[in-house]
């Protein structure tokens, strides 16, 4: 699905990604964990071909950067939900219209949707638990509902890769848990997309995630299976703090010692 070999990205004289080696195989579900400024967003934007590496080789969904067509051709297969790449919508657009527009490459509904697309948009609204807000103007929805609309929208074109960049930012506890439930349910479906879930928070590593990439100062600190990596020792070293870890409902929670 994804292969990065010795990848480096330079911005204003600083390597914001430095010698990244990372491979994501079909069937795996990944969390990308890192503190502020670790390079998580830079990495995601590279996978979506918004950044090109200065060094190394990047292959995403069988397309090798510098060799195969990228841009829209690649982004067709990637669902990206990111605060930094927030799409602009018309104020009066409803949740349903926004989800439906995900079936097209343009932001607005300039083309005529098929019946199949309309059915699909409705089903996705049900899947993310906000069908009852289908006709509500997007602008009037809460942050959590907006995020779920954006996730439903990103699933309209059956992406092979679904990238969620800090999707719980700004959500209250209830909205955050609802969003996490949505993410878990997407991963449990038949033939789910490969999810890359970016976060600062260890407790968002849901049971459905199989692997974790720990990114620090633009470098891979560790990467591998969730069960192997999530230990007090490795997380204490990662955060440079002595930590206690507790598992509840198959999710890890950290406490400073
Ligand atoms: N265009 C740029 N020019 C210079 N520095 C940049 C540029 N883009 C990002 N950076 C720097 O690269 C580093 C990584 O940024 P990035 O946004 O990828 O981090 P992040 O892990 O997503 O952080 P956060 O969790 O705060 O969103 C930061 O130190 C940032 O200031």
User: Is residue 17 in contact with ligand 1, taking CB distance under 6 Å?
Assistant: no
Structural domain of 109: 85-158
User: Is residue 103 in contact with ligand 1, taking CB distance under 6 Å?
Assistant: no
Residue having the nearest C-alpha atom to atom 29 of ligand 1: 37
232 belongs to a structural domain: no
Q: pLDDT tens across 183-200, in order?
A: 999 999 889 999 999 999
Q: pLDDT tens across 6-46, in order?
A: 999 998 899 999 999 999 999 999 999 998 889 999 999 89
pLDDT of residue 156: 92
User: Is residue 36 in contact with ligand 1, taking CB distance under 6 Å?
Assistant: yes
User: Is residue 16 in contact with ligand 1, taking CB distance under 6 Å?
Assistant: yes
Distances from the Cα of 196 to the Cα of 34, 99, 174, 208, angstroms: 13, 20, 22, 12
Largest CA distance in the chain: 58
131 belongs to a structural domain: yes
Asked if residues 137 and 91 have their Cβ atoms less than 8 Å apart, the reply is yes
**Over 90: is that where the pLDDT of 49 sits?**
no
105 belongs to a structural domain: yes
Mean pLDDT of 76-91: 77
Helices marked H in 155-222: 173-188
Task: Give the H or E element holding residue 236.
Answer: helix 232-239
pLDDT of residue 114: 87
122 belongs to a structural domain: yes
Cα separation, 25 vs 16, whole angstroms: 25
Note the pTM of the prediction, 2 decimals: 0.91
pLDDT of residue 87: 65
68 belongs to a structural domain: no
101 belongs to a structural domain: yes
Most confident of 74-78, 83-87, 164-168: 164-168
Q: 15-47 in b/e burial notation, b at 16+ Cβ within 10 A?
A: bbbbebebebeeebbbbbbbeeebbbbbbbbbb
SS3 (DSSP) at 246: strand
User: Is residue 12 in contact with ligand 1, taking CB distance under 6 Å?
Assistant: yes
pLDDT confidence tier of residue 110, bands split at 50, 70 and 90: low
Q: Which of 17, 33, 35, 39 to mutate to test the pocket of ligand 1 (most atoms within 8 A of CB)?
A: 39
Mean pLDDT of 164-174: 91
Q: Which of 11, 37, 167, 168 to mutate to test the pocket of ligand 1 (most atoms within 8 A of CB)?
A: 37
**Over 80: is that where the pLDDT of 71 sits?**
no
Number of structural domains found in the chain: 1
Residues of the chain with pLDDT > 90, as a percent, come to: 71
Cα separation, 158 vs 160, whole angstroms: 6
26 belongs to a structural domain: no
201 belongs to a structural domain: no
User: Is residue 9 in contact with ligand 1, taking CB distance under 6 Å?
Assistant: no
pLDDT of residue 224: 96
pLDDT of residue 73: 73
User: Is residue 199 in contact with ligand 1, taking CB distance under 6 Å?
Assistant: no
Q: pLDDT tens across 111-149, in order?
A: 688 899 999 999 999 989 999 999 999 989 988 899 999
């Amino acid at each position: 699905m994804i292969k990065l070999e010795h990848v480096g990205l330079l911005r204003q004289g600083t390597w914001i990604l430095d010698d990244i080696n990372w491979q994501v195989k079909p069937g795996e579900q990944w969390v990308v964990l890192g503190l502020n400024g670790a390079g998580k967003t830079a990495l995601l934007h590279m996978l979506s071909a918004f950044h090109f590496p200065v060094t190394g080789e990047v292959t995403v969904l069988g397309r090798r950067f510098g060799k195969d067509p990228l841009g829209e051709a690649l982004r067709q297969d990637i669902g990206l939900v990111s605060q930094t790449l927030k799409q602009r919508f018309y104020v009066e657009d409803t949740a349903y219209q926004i989800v439906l527009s995900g079936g097209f490459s343009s932001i607005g509904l300039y083309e005529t949707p098929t019946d199949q697309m309309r059915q699909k948009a409705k089903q996705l609204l049900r899947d993310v638990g906000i069908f009852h807000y289908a006709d509500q103007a997007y602008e009037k929805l809460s942050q959590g509902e907006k995020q779920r609309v954006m996730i439903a929208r990103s699933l309209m074109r059956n992406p092979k890769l679904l990238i969620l960049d800090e999707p719980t930012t700004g959500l209250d506890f209830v909205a955050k848990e609802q969003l996490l439930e949505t993410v878990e349910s997407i991963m449990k479906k038949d033939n789910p997309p490969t999810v890359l879930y970016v976060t600062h928070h260890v407790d968002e590593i849901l049971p459905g995630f199989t692997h974790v990439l720990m990114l620090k100062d633009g470098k891979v600190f560790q990467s591998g299976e969730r069960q192997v990596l999530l230990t007090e020792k490795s997380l204490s070293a990662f955060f440079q703090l002595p930590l206690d870890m507790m598992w509840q409902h198959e999710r890890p929670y950290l406490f400073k010692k």
